[in-house]
């Protein structure tokens, strides 16, 4: 898979916002609610150093990694719709694992909407386990966690 994962810079802001907007657009229609990543302040997140992009020139995928006390939170992972299915999301999630271990975190966590069943299946296939459900006005959030084992 060509492309690298790197820390996002201010010049990536428009591309990141476009990736997130277009990647989540189908979910807005199907689940009837606006996923939280659509309302994130990506300029602020970039300035905090928690946004990473996949792509050598123009970003085609984005992941937001927020260190917590004992885990690394994957706050968002999104891939340009025209590049989905190429393994970019898996590459970003593998990068998150390396980042977590380098930061001394032995686990990662994330959450997704229950209606995004394909996402839940992908995360489970990658070793994440469902740890809980949180009711929403429509559907619920599925919380997932993956324990990491340093090699």
Chain-wide mean pLDDT for the chain? Answer: 91
Domain range for 102 is 5-147
Measured from the Cβ of residue 34, the count of other Cβ atoms closer than 10 Å reads 11
Instruction: Assign 3 a pLDDT band (cuts: 50, 70, 90).
Output: low
More confident residue, 71 or 32: 71
Counted domains in the chain: 1
Report the phi/psi class of residue 32: left, alpha or beta, with left for phi > 0 and alpha for psi in -120 to 50: left
Nearest alpha carbon to residue 97 among 61, 59, 126 = 126
CATH number for position 66: 3.40.630.30
pLDDT in tens, 7-27: 999 999 999 999 999 999 888
pLDDT in tens, 57-102: 889 999 999 999 989 999 999 999 999 999 999 999 999 999 999 9
Mean pLDDT throughout 27-48?
89
**Half-sphere exposure for 3 (CA within 13 Å, toward CB):** 21
User: What is the share, in percent, of the chain residues with pLDDT greater than 90?
Assistant: 71
Q: Give the predicted TM-score (pTM) of the model.
A: 0.93
Spatial separation of the C-alpha atoms in residues 37 and 45, rounded to whole Å: 11
pLDDT in tens, 109-143: 999 988 876 888 899 999 999 999 998 777 788 99
């Amino acid at each position: 898979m060509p492309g690298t994962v790197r820390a996002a810079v201010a010049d990536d802001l428009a591309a990141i916002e476009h990736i997130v907007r277009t990647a989540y657009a189908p979910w807005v229609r199907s689940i009837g609610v606006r996923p939280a990543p659509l309302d994130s302040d990506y300029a602020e997140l970039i300035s905090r150093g928690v946004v990473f992009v996949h792509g050598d020139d123009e970003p085609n995928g984005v992941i937001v990694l927020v260190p917590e006390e004992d885990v690394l939170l994957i706050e968002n992972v999104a891939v340009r719709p025209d590049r989905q299915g190429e393994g970019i999301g898996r590459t970003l999630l593998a990068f998150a694992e390396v980042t977590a271990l380098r930061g001394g975190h032995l686990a990662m966590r994330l959450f997704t909407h229950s209606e995004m069943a394909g996402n839940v299946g992908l995360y489970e296939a990658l070793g994440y386990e469902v740890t809980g459900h949180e009711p929403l006005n429509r559907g619920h959030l599925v919380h997932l966690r993956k324990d990491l084992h340093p090699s």
